[in-house]
Amino acid sequence: MTKYVFVTGGVVSSLGKGIASASLAAILESRGLKVTLIKLDPYINVDPGTMSPFQHGEVFVTDDGAETDLDLGHYERFITTRMKKSNNFTTGQIYMSVLEKERRGDYLGKTVQVIPHITNEMQDFIRRGAGQGTPDAVDVAIVEIGGTVGDIESLPFLEAARQMSLKAGPNNVAFVHLTYVPWIAAAGELKTKPTQHTVQKLREIGIQPDALICRADRRIPDDEREKISLFTNVPEYGVISMWDVNTIYKVPRVLHEQGLDQLICTKLQLNTKSADLKRWDTLVHEVENPAEQVTIAMCGKYTDLSDSYKSLNEALRHAGIHNHAGVKIEYVDSETLTPQTVGGLAKFDAILVPGGFGKRGVEGKILAAQYAREHKLPYLGICLGMQVATIEYARHMAGLENANSTEFDPETPHPVIALIDEWQDADGSIQKRDANSDLGGTMRLGAQSSDVKDGTLARDIYGPVVTERHRHRYEANEHYLDRLQQAGLVISAITQREKLTEMVELPREVHPWFVGVQFHPEFKSTPWGGHPLFTAFIKAALNHKHQA
């Protein structure tokens, strides 16, 4: 039978429930258990796909095309289990499912209520995410409940968790509560009162935590842990101190040394081997002892919130580890890039233009691509980053003045980037690839495969086939590809099914390393395997630094 660990949060948000959940999962996996993680988001949006990165951070995409919370990226980077659509659901999805059932008459005319209909639906979604009752069932499912205890939005999720623990029995469900212990500088001491109150609130709901992970900017002394234990009814060995560390990859070791995994295994009556965290120790050593350092300019428009590029930041750091180098990322607001200021990019070892939506800051990104091309700086363009590189090349190398994307200029005379159903022949007739296709005007999501051209940089990196995850609407217009290739742009990968452009690059005799990709490779990077594209990019940055 699948066992469940519910992870809740208290006092304030952004304490790191995702990292704590992923770290606990990693320790349990190192004990030989099959583990998965599920994220429950209390907002009413169906998914985060339409939410601003400033509010929600990045949208993580799974192989099966689900747009999910960024915490699923942490999950995939910490454990071997790949996430799916069923690993993340929202209040919006729950209500949508219940209302569809009500319209079909599934409830036989009953009054549909939060209890039991909404909470039952939540439990069904949780079991589905764990694969319970199927060949894909896991030993332990760690369920992270978004929000903070006391929020009205997350109450139904907490009630569903309480009901699951009641039905499953005391040895099949455990509760871990993440809380905050602030240091009050004026008083010169840590304050445990917020933790006492949040646990009291949780117990009022009917949930007694088995363990507390107490976040603070320093280690929590034993006398404070004893005090927390006394006022929360949690055994002292269950009060875990989680202080700030210089890398998230230290968290599994910190939690293990305080016995959190043993506490969970004892509670859930799991007989396992001892935890083996040697590879985590090796990873931390690599992170803390780089042989050298490179500095990457990330030219985007969400630079005020690093969570907007969470997977991308981690992928660059993973690539640094595999090159024995530290990677310093400096965010450059693309709105500030002008012909007069773009020269400031000369101080960097490489330029990366990430994905994004909307017109704001695009001309600055085009300038960044032009600067990298003309000054032979290593360049990696991801999604929109590939598109702006294509626009730039069309304008300045292929003689297509005012070339653009129809996303930014619907009246452009040369739509080198457009929705599929906007592609036009010379006579102005609309060209649709497939009358039954919904690709035009909608997102292309999830993992898709492409054939890679011989003799290219892409072939050296990926081999004959590249399979990566996507999240975009606009494509390189196939009616301009011949013109661009005649001007010297290399189309190095094309999708197997729709024959859409997936990778572009410059010949190596023209530029040492210039690559644009339509997909999002950052979603598949892990600290263990890194990612071949990012590893090659950081290697190119190191080569540029050595030659400078």
Residues 6 or more apart in contact with residue 97 via CB below 8 angstroms: 121, 125
Determine whether 520 is an active site residue: yes
> pLDDT per residue over 443-486, tens digit each?
788 899 999 999 999 999 999 999 999 998 899 999 999 999 99
Q: How far is the C-alpha of 430 from the C-alpha of 428, rounded, in Å?
A: 6
The secondary element (H helix, E strand) that includes residue 239 is strand 239-243
Backbone angles phi and psi of 152, in degrees to 5: -65, -30
Is the pLDDT score of 439 beyond 60? no
The reported pLDDT for the residue numbered 304 is 61
Determine whether 214 is an active site residue: no
Is the pLDDT score of 107 beyond 60? yes
The reported pLDDT for the residue numbered 289 is 95
Most confident of 67-76, 206-215, 439-448: 206-215
Least confident interval from 195-204, 239-248, 296-305, 490-499: 296-305
- Is 3.40.190.10 the CATH classification of the domain at 290-418+434-547? no
Is the pLDDT score of 393 beyond 80? yes
Helices H, strands E: what count in the chain? 17, 23
Query: What tokens were used for 473?
Result: 């609407």
Is 152 marked as a binding-site residue?
Answer: yes
Active-site residue identified among 117, 520, 531, 544: 520
Residues facing residue 128 across a β-bridge: none
Least confident interval from 56-65, 185-194, 387-396, 501-510: 56-65
Q: How far is the C-alpha of 91 from the C-alpha of 398, rounded, in Å?
A: 50
Cβ count near 244 (within 10 Å): 10
The reported pLDDT for the residue numbered 442 is 61
Determine whether 522 is an active site residue: yes
Query: What tokens were used for 41?
Result: 């988001």
Is 14 marked as a binding-site residue?
Answer: yes
Most confident of 17-21, 52-56, 301-305: 17-21
Q: How far is the C-alpha of 82 from the C-alpha of 61, rounded, in Å?
A: 11
Nearest Cα to 378, choosing from 341, 339, 352?
352
% of the chain beyond a pLDDT of 90: 82
Is 16 marked as a binding-site residue?
Answer: yes
Strand 403-405's sheet: what is its strand order? 403-405, 414-418, 475-476
Nearest Cα to 455, choosing from 518, 504, 507, 503?
507
Answer with the residue of higher pLDDT: 303 or 405. Answer: 405
Active-site residue identified among 74, 502, 522, 544: 522
Looking at domain 3-283, its CATH superfamily turns out to be P-loop containing nucleotide triphosphate hydrolases (3.40.50.300)
Query: What tokens were used for 534?
Result: 């990012």
Is the pLDDT score of 145 beyond 90? yes
Least confident interval from 64-68, 217-221, 318-322: 64-68
The reported pLDDT for the residue numbered 440 is 34
Domains 3-283 and 290-418+434-547 equal at CATH topology level: yes
Q: What is the DSSP annotation of 491-547?
A: EEEEETTT--EEEEE--TTT-SSEEEESS-GGGG-BTTTB-HHHHHHHHHHHHHHHH
The reported pLDDT for the residue numbered 117 is 95
Is the pLDDT score of 366 beyond 70? yes
Is 385 marked as a binding-site residue?
Answer: yes
Q: pTM, whole model, 2 decimals?
A: 0.91
**What are the residue ranges spanned by the domains of the chain?**
3-283, 290-418+434-547
The reported pLDDT for the residue numbered 163 is 97
Active-site residue identified among 29, 318, 383, 475: 383
The reported pLDDT for the residue numbered 424 is 52
Question: pLDDT class for 35, splitting at 50, 70, 90?
Answer: very high
Q: How far is the C-alpha of 470 from the C-alpha of 509, rounded, in Å?
A: 30
The reported pLDDT for the residue numbered 306 is 64
Q: What is the DSSP annotation of 243-283?
A: E--SSGGGHHHHHHHTTHHHHHHHHTT---PPP--HHHHHH
The reported pLDDT for the residue numbered 427 is 41
Is 15 marked as a binding-site residue?
Answer: yes
> pLDDT per residue over 280-330, tens digit each?
999 999 999 999 999 999 998 766 666 778 999 999 999 999 999 999 999
> Can you give the length of the chain in residues?
548
Is the pLDDT score of 433 beyond 80? no
